[in-house]
């Protein structure tokens, strides 16, 4: 990814790549991977709905579409935001469950 990022306008900043890399080998690796995959899929779905085809539109078209204030565009962005919220809530619920299981295994009473 770092090699691709140096060939033009980067998708991720260097600090973002470092933070993503920090999740490898950590307890959050599975959650973060799932979270990022769901967001990427939601974004691709938004592109497909907007462009009406499998290939993403060129950057100029995206910029024009994002500045439009049409009900269709608002609906698409709202749908994307809802999918993002759902993915984040699922990740939070999984983390909460895993924390409770860890506390139980350590025989620590969870806070109420």
Taking only the tens place, the pLDDT of each residue in 6-59 is 677 777 777 888 888 888 887 777 777 777 888 788 777 777 776 666 566 676
Q: pLDDT exceeding 70 applies to what percent of the chain?
A: 76
Domain holding 15, by residue range, is: 2-105
The answer to whether position 19 is within a domain reads yes
Residue 76 lies in a domain: yes
Q: Tell me if 16 is assigned to some domain.
A: yes
* pLDDT at 111 (0 to 100): 74
Residue 11 belongs to a domain: yes
Tell me how far apart the alpha carbons of residues 11 and 91 are, in angstroms, rounded to a whole number: 23
State residue 55's pLDDT score.
65
- 108 pLDDT more than 80: yes
Q: Are 32 and 23 in contact (CB under 8 A)?
A: yes
pTM of the full structure: 0.45
- Give a yes or no: residue 112 inside a domain: no
Domain count, the chain: 1
How many C-beta atoms lie closer than 10 Å to residue 50's C-beta? 19
**60-79 per-position pLDDT tens digit:** 766 676 676 667 667 777 77
CA separation for the pair 37, 106 (Å, rounded): 32
Say if 110 falls within a structural domain. no
In a domain, 42, yes or no: yes
């Amino acid at each position: 990814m770092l090699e691709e990022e140096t060939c033009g306008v980067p998708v991720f900043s260097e600090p973002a790549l470092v933070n993503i890399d920090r999740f490898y080998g950590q307890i959050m690796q599975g959650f973060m991977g799932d979270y990022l995959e769901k967001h990427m899929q939601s974004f691709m779905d938004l592109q497909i709905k907007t462009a009406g085809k499998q290939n993403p539109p060129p950057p100029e078209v995206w910029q024009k579409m994002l500045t439009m204030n049409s009900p269709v565009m608002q609906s698409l962005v709202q749908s994307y935001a809802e999918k993002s919220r759902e993915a984040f809530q699922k990740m939070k619920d999984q983390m909460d469950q895993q924390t409770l299981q860890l506390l139980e295994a350590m025989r620590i009473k969870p806070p109420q």
